[in-house]
């Protein structure tokens, strides 16, 4: 399935729709370049789960968690692996335990850094920033 978002609001709306379908135990892997809309999507996903707290990028602290109410899932973990340089650093984060707990929903930005540590059962979402392509075609 492909979706084209023209605005930040549309990306948030798409995230909300996905968030409303999640019940716990899901790992969502978000692929895409910087500025492609991954964190914006997570804002919407959190809204869809009923999380009212402001969603902040975990780029510098790697993992943020948010309590979920009114869902079978209890915690949303938002993980950003952009700053990790070595696969050895990942082991100390306890990601395996987070990803295998059915009461968690785990969202991972830059999941390619996990390599084969990603679970087979997951939701992969790819983001592509199309501005340059559109400008070349129409500009």
Domain annotation covers residue 85: yes
Give 44-73 pLDDT, tens digit per residue: 999 999 998 888 888 888 899 999 988 888
What dihedral angle (degrees, nearest 10) is formed by the CA atoms of 84, 128, 15, 21? -90
Per-residue confidence (pLDDT) for residue 75, from 0 to 100: 95
Total domain count, the chain: 1
User: Which residue range is the domain that position 57 belongs to?
Assistant: 8-138
Per-residue confidence (pLDDT) for residue 100, from 0 to 100: 87
Domain annotation covers residue 1: no
**Residue 77: which pLDDT band, with cuts at 50, 70 and 90?**
very high
Terminal-residue alpha carbon distance, the chain: 28
| Residue of 139 and 32 predicted with greater confidence | 32
Per-residue confidence (pLDDT) for residue 136, from 0 to 100: 53
Domain annotation covers residue 46: yes
């Amino acid at each position: 399935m492909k979706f084209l978002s023209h605005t930040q609001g549309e990306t948030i709306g798409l995230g909300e729709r996905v968030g409303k379908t999640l019940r716990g135990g899901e790992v969502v892997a978000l692929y895409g370049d910087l500025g492609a809309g991954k964190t914006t999507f997570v804002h919407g996903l959190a809204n869809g789960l009923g999380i009212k707290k402001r969603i902040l990028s975990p780029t510098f602290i790697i993992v943020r968690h948010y309590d979920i109410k009114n869902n079978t899932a209890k915690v949303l973990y938002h993980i950003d692996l952009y700053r990790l340089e070595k696969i050895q650093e990942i082991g100390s984060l306890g990601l395996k335990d987070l990803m295998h707990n059915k009461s968690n929903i785990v969202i991972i930005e830059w999941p390619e850094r996990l390599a084969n540590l990603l679970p087979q059962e997951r939701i992969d979402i790819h983001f592509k920033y199309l501005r340059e392509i559109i400008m070349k075609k129409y500009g």
